[in-house]
Amino acid sequence: MQNFKDKVAVITGGAGGFGREFARIGAQRGMKLVLADVQQDALDQAKAELEAQGAQVLAMICDVRKADQVQALADATMARFGAVHLLFNNAGVGSGGLVWENSVADWEWVLGVNLWGVIHGVRIFTPLMLECAKKEPGYQGHIVNTASMAGLLNAPAMGVYNVSKHAVVSLSESLYHDLQLVEAPIGASVLCPYFVPTGISQSHRNRPEDVKMMAKPTASQMAAQIMTDKAVSSGKVSAADVAHSTFDAIGDGKFYIYSHPDALAGVQTRMEEIVSQTNPSDPFAATPHIRDMLRAKMQAA
């Protein structure tokens, strides 16, 4: 996808983090924007900011866990703008702790947003985009699914998050191959950021009532939260940097998008262990102090 001017971009999780930066770049490139989020105040602020820049903006509350709400988003997009060219399945939440300590509500919340949100986006918007391609000469479209380096690696005390993001990588690769199979004029990419300050480590602030955390956090969950907060807040790569890299990748037709290419050394090690049938190596081998800190916090909590 090369031409962005006057094209329509739909962005879930569009009121903050990567989503808001995608919207800012889209506005700069003359796109019409559809922002979906669950946080009304942030959504209102993003809409006002982008409209002040001259962009046409449709902003909607949308819980991507819910198929009917994603369908309503698609319907409203078509009613307002008549087409979709660029889709960012970007909404995401984080949760940690020892994998056996995550509750059913934890699993339903994280998989609901991180995985089912992408499933609903792909299932509902891809056919719509294919229909748009039939009606618009020279149509070019693109779908970006936000995964994570946690979709390629498996850090301890992040199991529920890891599972959700591995599934998004698999779904995205399948989507890419399926679009290629039918020779669709639609590209696909998977974004795999590492620790980037976006607010995801505080995503529990928007955790819905139907999946609220009923019990007190376990020691491992509190320790994982502290470690994640520290890693995210100390990140040197910004959400704006990642958004610019993402738009560059869309223009170049690149599938895999990384914020920290150096982290791929761990991915290579994991792949080699899979092929050689070697047991998974210690992810803290090069940083034992982090493992020791995590253990200490879990024992002290």
CATH number of the domain where residue 278 is located: 3.40.50.720
Cα distances (Å, whole numbers) of residue 271 to 48, 159, 195: 46, 19, 21
What is Dmax (Cα atoms) for the chain? 63
Domain extent for 217:
8-300
147-204 pLDDT, tens digit per residue, is: 999 999 999 999 999 999 999 999 999 999 999 999 999 999 999 999 887 766 566 7
Quick check: is 35 in a domain?
Answer: yes
Is the CA virtual torsion 149, 107, 201, 123 positive or negative?
positive
- Please tell me the predicted confidence (pLDDT) of residue 144: 98
User: Percent of the chain beyond pLDDT 90?
Assistant: 77
- Please tell me the predicted confidence (pLDDT) of residue 59: 98
- Please tell me the predicted confidence (pLDDT) of residue 201: 56
CA 212 to chain centre: 21
Q: Which residue has the tokens 């999946």?
A: 211
Query: Does 301 score more than 60 pLDDT?
Result: no
Average pLDDT over residues 121-131: 98
Quick check: is 2 in a domain?
Answer: no
Average pLDDT over residues 135-150: 97
Q: Tell me if 112 sits within 8 A of 74, measured CB to CB.
A: no
In 3D, which of 179, 174, 181, 233 has the Cα closest to residue 202? 233
DSSP states along 250-279? HHHT-SEEES-GGGHHHHHHHHHHHHHTPP
Query: Does 223 score more than 60 pLDDT?
Result: yes
Query: Does 226 score more than 80 pLDDT?
Result: no
Strand partners, 299: none
CA distance 131 to 10: 16
Average pLDDT over residues 71-93: 97
Quick check: is 45 in a domain?
Answer: yes
Quick check: is 93 in a domain?
Answer: yes
CA distance 35 to 47: 8
Quick check: is 286 in a domain?
Answer: yes
- Please tell me the predicted confidence (pLDDT) of residue 200: 65
- Please tell me the predicted confidence (pLDDT) of residue 48: 97
- Please tell me the predicted confidence (pLDDT) of residue 250: 98
Which of 161, 176, 194, 258 is catalytic? The answer is 161
- Please tell me the predicted confidence (pLDDT) of residue 199: 67
Average pLDDT over residues 124-133: 98
- Please tell me the predicted confidence (pLDDT) of residue 42: 94
Query: Does 212 score more than 60 pLDDT?
Result: yes
Q: Which residue has the tokens 């950021």?
A: 193
Cα distances (Å, whole numbers) of residue 215 to 35, 96, 226: 33, 15, 18
Number of domains in the chain: 1
Lowest mean pLDDT among 59-68, 105-114, 173-182, 211-220: 211-220
27-75 pLDDT, tens digit per residue, is: 999 999 999 999 999 999 999 999 999 999 999 999 999 999 999 999 9
Query: Does 209 score more than 90 pLDDT?
Result: no
Q: What are the phi and psi torsion angles at 182 (to 5°)?
A: -95, 10
Q: Tell me if 16 sits within 8 A of 198, measured CB to CB.
A: yes
Query: Does 106 score more than 90 pLDDT?
Result: yes
Quick check: is 3 in a domain?
Answer: no
161 a catalytic residue: yes
Q: What is the mean pLDDT of the chain?
A: 93
Quick check: is 1 in a domain?
Answer: no
